[in-house]
């Protein structure tokens, strides 16, 4: 039995992870901005945490830590998205994405590292995205925030002294959840972007509906938790997005990468 701290436990990938963990006997402290939305499951302890609020992150984690005594695993999963032309993104919209997807998650990771140093052992899983390597058109703030978290994770992996504390960058591809329903959208784009915005959103919706279920990510998380020496980077999703596309793109010049992604999204 492991004691696990999980953000974004009320829906989507986070809910699937929570269900899988408690089903196998782990104790999970799951967070949401509204704890009432967290499913009432045995061994799932709901608590409030808002990644947009630094004070909420500290108080939420510390309260859970006091109750748990220690955490074997901390999973940075919660997130949000924004859809609209990069040219028209406001500073507020960009800052909001980076607060939730980078700054809030890095604060939580530092809290987790500090707590784990006393043992010293543990596992931190930062759920980034394949969008950090294969950007989705009109999701520039999301793509770049996920890339920033992935780069920071690798930097920590480089610097962390040899110990039994492991950090994993888990990069899911498209997963069939209600994520798109909560994506914030920019106001109606100007005529230069309107057609491509519509085509891209149609492709994003189609890909999401036909993507693997979040249980796939939950199984991958359980595998990582059970490994004595988990890999520094892992993926979860269909074979094309997680294996074929990244392999091809690794060897292509930027011009061909852009061409390929435009073709993929029909723009």
pLDDT tens digit sequence for 106-147: 999 999 999 999 888 999 999 999 999 999 999 999 999 999
Which residues lie below 8 Å from residue 37, measured CB to CB, with a gap of 6+?
10, 11
Report the pLDDT value the prediction gives residue 252, as an integer from 0 to 100: 92
CA–CA separation, 50 and 262 (whole Å)? 35
Report the pLDDT value the prediction gives residue 46, as an integer from 0 to 100: 98
Mean pLDDT in the chain? 94
Bridge partners of 83, per DSSP, are 185
Spatial CA neighbour of 179 closest among 79, 248, 257? 79
| Share above pLDDT 90 across residues of the chain, in percent, rounded to a whole number | 87
Give the domain ranges of the chain: 3-265
Give the lowest-confidence range in 101-115, 198-212, 237-251: 237-251
Residue reference for tokens 């690798």: 154
Backbone dihedral angles phi then psi of residue 39, each to the nearest 5 degrees: -60, 135
What is the H or E stretch that residue 184 is in? strand 184-185
Q: CATH number for the 3-265 domain, one of 3.40.50.300, 3.10.20.30, 3.40.50.720, 3.90.45.10? A: 3.40.50.720
Question: What's the half-sphere exposure (Cβ side, CA atoms, 13 Å) at 121?
Answer: 7
Q: If you count DSSP H runs as helices and E runs as strands, how many of each does the chain have, helices first?
A: 10, 9
Q: Is the pLDDT of residue 189 over 90?
A: no
Which residues lie below 8 Å from residue 219, measured CB to CB, with a gap of 6+?
20
Query: What single string gives the DSSP state of each residue in 86-130?
Result: GGG--HHHHHHHHIIIIIHHHHHHHHHHHHHTTTTEEEEEEE--G
pTM: 0.94
State pLDDT tens for residues 32-52: 999 999 999 999 999 999 999
Which residues lie below 8 Å from residue 25, measured CB to CB, with a gap of 6+?
1, 43
CA–CA separation, 255 and 267 (whole Å)? 15
Going by their DSSP bridges, the two strands 233-236 and 121-127 should be labelled as unpaired
CA–CA separation, 169 and 150 (whole Å)? 6
């Amino acid at each position: 039995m492991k004691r696990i701290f999980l953000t974004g436990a009320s829906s989507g990938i986070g809910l699937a992870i929570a269900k899988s963990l408690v089903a196998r006997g782990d104790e999970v402290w799951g967070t949401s901005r509204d704890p009432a939305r967290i499913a009432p499951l045995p061994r799932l302890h709901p608590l409030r945490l808002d990644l947009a609020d630094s004070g909420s992150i500290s108080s939420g984690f510390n309260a859970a830590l006091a109750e748990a005594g220690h955490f074997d695993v901390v999973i940075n999963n919660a997130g949000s998205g924004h859809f609209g032309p990069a040219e028209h993104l406001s500073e507020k919209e960009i800052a909001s994405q980076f607060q939730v997807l980078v700054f809030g998650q890095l604060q939580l990771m530092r809290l987790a590292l500090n707590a784990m140093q006393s043992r010293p052992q543990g596992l931190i899983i930062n759920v980034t995205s394949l969008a950090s390597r294969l950007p989705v058109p009109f999701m520039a703030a999301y793509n770049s925030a996920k890339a920033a978290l992935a780069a920071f994770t690798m930097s920590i992996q480089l610097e962390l002294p040899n110990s039994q504390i492991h950090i994993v960058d888990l990069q899911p591809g498209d997963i069939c959840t209600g994520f798109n329903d909560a994506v914030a959208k920019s106001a109606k784009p100007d005529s230069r972007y309107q057609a491509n915005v519509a085509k891209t959103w149609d492709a994003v919706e189609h890909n999401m509906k036909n993507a693997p279920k979040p249980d796939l990510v939950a199984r991958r998380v359980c595998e990582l938790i059970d490994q004595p020496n988990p890999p520094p980077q892992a993926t979860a999703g269909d074979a094309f997005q997680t294996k074929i596309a990244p392999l091809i793109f690794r060897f292509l010049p930027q011009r061909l990468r852009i061409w390929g992604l435009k073709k993929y999204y029909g723009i």
